[in-house]
């Protein structure tokens, strides 16, 4: 997996494959949130059936020294792949992305995926100084990684703080928001839309909106019209069809998709998307029908 993320020709090919099969409106750069960590020397690998695994976790002040600043020369394959893709895509946008500070910290502290993020939250609660130093370094790495993508031509960027829904609103405000805000502020002058997404973040949506993104991603746990009430004005929403619905009969998919689109029209802007990733057992033909349905319904609403 990570080898594929460091070969420009593979990055470009895998990024383009969905666009050859589905009539989607944008491409998403093929990469992984741990790519910048590996680029700065962290001993991380993606193991089949497990996910990202860090051989030597980061848990002490001395461990922070392994998290050096990311230089564009550390990820030349990203620059090359993005430039190739921008040429291939022509007018179709390319969305770049990076991992959010809490999610990256969790993998580093836990040493791999975690159900409850116990060690991560223990560090956050028990050693605030080390916690903020860790997230500060991760924010620096993330800013550099996103700038590389924008400088090479990415049309938008998305910050995936996938597991940040594990914390309370109060903890998010004090322990995570300052670092996320700094990431979005650093990209503010780039002139590209900034998207913020996490899973299980219904109670954090207002704070995630405050962090500075232009678009807030919504998972499937709350309706979009409720999300509109929780996110401050001036933000668009992205989401939020439950990926599991795509395993149901087509008439169910059709009904639920129309419901998402109708609720999304209460927002100042809406990007239709799934509430998380496509499940492996999903029929590819259903995805194609879904894209066509969204386009047809959106065109009808505008007519």
Residues in CB range of 47: below 8 A, 6 or more apart:
53
Mean of pLDDT over the chain: 96
- HSE on the CB side for 165, CA within 13 Å? 17
Question: Residue 34: its pLDDT value, please?
Answer: 95
Residue 303 scores a pLDDT above 80: no
Question: Residue 77: its pLDDT value, please?
Answer: 97
Question: Residue 102: its pLDDT value, please?
Answer: 97
Percent of the chain with pLDDT over 70: 100
Distances (CA, A) of 120 to 19, 110, 143, 246, 260: 37, 6, 22, 33, 34
CB-based burial of residue 272 (10 Å sphere; 0-12 exposed, 13-18 middle, 19+ buried)?
Answer: buried
Question: Residue 1: its pLDDT value, please?
Answer: 85
pLDDT band of 46, cuts 50, 70, 90: confident
CB 4 within 8 Å of CB 81: no
160, containing H or E segment? strand 156-160
**How does DSSP assign 182-193, residue by residue?**
HHHHHTGGG-S-
């Amino acid at each position: 997996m990570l080898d594929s993320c460091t070969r420009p020709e593979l990055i470009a090919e895998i990024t383009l494959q969905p666009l050859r099969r589905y009539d989607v409106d944008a491409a998403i750069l093929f990469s992984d949130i741990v790519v910048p960590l590996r680029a700065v020397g962290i001993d991380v690998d993606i193991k089949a059936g497990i996910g990202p695994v860090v051989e030597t976790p980061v848990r002490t002040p001395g461990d922070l020294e392994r998290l050096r600043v990311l230089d564009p020369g550390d990820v030349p394959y990203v620059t090359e792949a993005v430039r190739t893709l921008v040429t291939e895509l022509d007018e179709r946008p390319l969305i770049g992305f990076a991992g959010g500070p809490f999610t990256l910290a969790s993998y580093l502290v836990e040493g791999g995926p975690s159900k409850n993020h116990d060690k991560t939250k223990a560090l956050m609660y028990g050693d605030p100084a080390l916690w903020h130093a860790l997230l500060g370094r991760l924010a620096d790495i993330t800013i550099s990684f996103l700038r590389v993508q924008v400088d090479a031509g990415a049309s938008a960027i998305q910050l995936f703080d996938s597991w940040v829904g594990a914390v309370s609103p109060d903890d998010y405000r004090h322990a995570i928001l300052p670092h996320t805000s700094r990431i979005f502020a650093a990209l503010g002058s780039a002139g590209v839309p900034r998207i913020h997404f996490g899973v299980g973040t219904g109670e954090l949506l207002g704070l995630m909106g405050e962090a500075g993104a232009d678009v807030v991603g919504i998972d499937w746990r709350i309706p979009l019209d409720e999300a509109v009430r929780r996110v401050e004005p001036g933000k668009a929403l992205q989401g939020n069809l439950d990926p599991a619905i795509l395993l149901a009969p087509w008439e169910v998919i059709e009904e639920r998709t129309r419901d998402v689109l109708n609720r999304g029209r209460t927002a100042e802007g809406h990007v239709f998307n799934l509430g998380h990733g496509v499940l492996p057992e999903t029929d590819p033909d259903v995805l194609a029908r879904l894209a066509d349905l969204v386009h047809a319904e959106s065109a009808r609403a505008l007519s």
